[in-house]
Amino acid sequence: MGRASRILPVSDPASFERAARVLRKGGLVAFPTETVYGLGASALDAKAVLKIFRLKKRPSFDPLIVHASSSVMARKLWRRPPARALALAAAYWPGPLTLVLPRSPIVPDVVTSGLDTVAVRVPSHPAARALIERFGAPIAAPSANLFGRTSATTAQMVLEDLGGGVDLVLDGGPATLGVESTVLKYEGGRFHLLRPGGVTLESLRRRVRVVTGSPERRIESPGQLASHYAPRTPLALAERGAAAWIGERRRRGALPRKVGVLAFRARPRTPGVRACEVLSRAGSLSEAAFRLFQAMRKLDKMRLDLIVAEAVPSRGLGLAVNDRLRRASAPTHKSTRNLR
Ligand code: TXA
Ligand code: MG
């Protein structure tokens, strides 16, 4: 089968039956969600889920999010979900909120990396829901990229990373949010933010108290790993803007030759910038989130020595954008030794 034939448009209803058939046979289907593209397998088929880990080169201790098409389907994945958590799910689903709660025995160990909890969400993207409905069972799906790299927000980005390994890609155009879901764990009577994402902290805090950070000190969510969501080109985070950062480095004679900038609102007025991607001329944080991973990948292909990324205002979706930029700027981990 050639490359092109593995991509099917979501505009054709027949695509969903073909994709569901692939899942039933234990295969992998990449599909659009409102956040980023997911790499899906039948969540209740341990052998199929194992293929996700292999293809992504994802360490086996990094658990997956299970996607359901309804709250009814979602509830079956948990053991005695508390009413407060269900109320929050009802407020945000379908949508970019992932809830981590004690798991039901029907969920295979491989999905949760042996943890006694499972992360679940009901996506709002019509193609994602249509796929789960057609398949008739929950789908385990991490972001459809190589482990540690930037998430894929288009079908082309999925193929760049995962090429021949995925059986079928449902193409629904660019993912509308552009950053991953918010991961929230309910434990000890409190909600803990494990990863900022598409549902903002401000919005959550209008409904419930949210503690930032994992309830345990150990790393629980590799979304929490220092280095993650990273391009191959070294990336520096400029908290006070790219112009100031570059100027300071130049004065010290410490600026590499080929510098690219991931700017928030405008190209910095400073010499020596080879390439620049502007996230949002209007200063919109949702536009910045939407463009983030595509812009990062574009700069990553230019053989630059360094990408200088500007931090965006830390409110609303800006929290998720800055989180991804911070992790992209951390030195990359060569092994899993330093992950725990
Ligand atoms: O928007 C999204 O969430 C996308 C789309 C495809 O739904 N998915 C996604 O999956 O970003 P992934 O695998 O790239 O990130 C899932 C995050 C990881 O940081 C993982 O460690 C965390 O969720 N996670 C999953 N299960 C968990 C659990 N039981 N306890 C704590 N963290 C968990
Ligand atoms: Mg990911």
Q: What is the pLDDT of residues 185-218, one digit of tens each?
A: 999 999 999 999 999 999 999 999 999 966 655 5
The single-letter DSSP state of residue 334 is S
pLDDT of residue 201: 98
The single-letter DSSP state of residue 143 is B
In the structure, what pLDDT confidence band is assigned to residue 164 with cuts at 50, 70 and 90? Answer: confident
pLDDT of residue 113: 96
Quick check: 154 pLDDT over 90?
yes
Give the Cα separation of 73 and 83 in Å (integer): 16
Higher per-residue pLDDT: 216 or 273: 273
pLDDT of residue 92: 98
Ligand nearest to the CA of 38: 1
In the structure, what pLDDT confidence band is assigned to residue 231 with cuts at 50, 70 and 90? Answer: confident
pLDDT of residue 2: 44
SS3 track for 28-60: CEEECCCCCCEEEEECCCHHHHHHHHHHHCCCC
Closest approach atom of ligand 1 to CA 197: 1
> Three-state DSSP class for 234?
coil
Single-letter residue type at 85: A
113-135 average pLDDT score = 98
In this structure, the strands spanning 273-278 and 29-31 are: unpaired
Percent of the chain with pLDDT over 70: 91
CA of 80 to the centre of ligand 2 (A): 28
Single-letter residue type at 223: G
Ligand nearest to the CA of 117: 1
262-277 average pLDDT score = 95
Higher per-residue pLDDT: 148 or 281: 281
Q: Give, in degrees to the nearest 5, the angle at Cα 130 between 128 and 136.
A: 105
Give the Cα separation of 22 and 27 in Å (integer): 5
pLDDT of residue 333: 47
Higher per-residue pLDDT: 306 or 340: 306
Structure tokens at 126: 């019509």
pLDDT of residue 219: 54
pLDDT of residue 155: 96
Which residue's alpha carbon is nearest to atom 3 within ligand 1? 181
Which residue's alpha carbon is nearest to atom 29 within ligand 1? 118
Specify the range with the lowest mean pLDDT, choosing from 131-145, 221-235, 310-324. Answer: 221-235
pLDDT of residue 229: 77
Ligand 1 probe mutation, 180, 192, 324, most atoms within 8 A of CB: 180
Which residue is associated with the tokens 């520096």?
A: 236
In the structure, what pLDDT confidence band is assigned to residue 138 with cuts at 50, 70 and 90? Answer: very high
Instruction: Identify the CA nearest to 293 among candidates 145, 163, 170, 190.
Output: 145
Quick check: 81 pLDDT over 50?
yes
Give the Cα separation of 125 and 137 in Å (integer): 17
Closest approach atom of ligand 1 to CA 223: 19
Task: State the average pLDDT for the chain.
Answer: 92
**pTM here?**
0.93
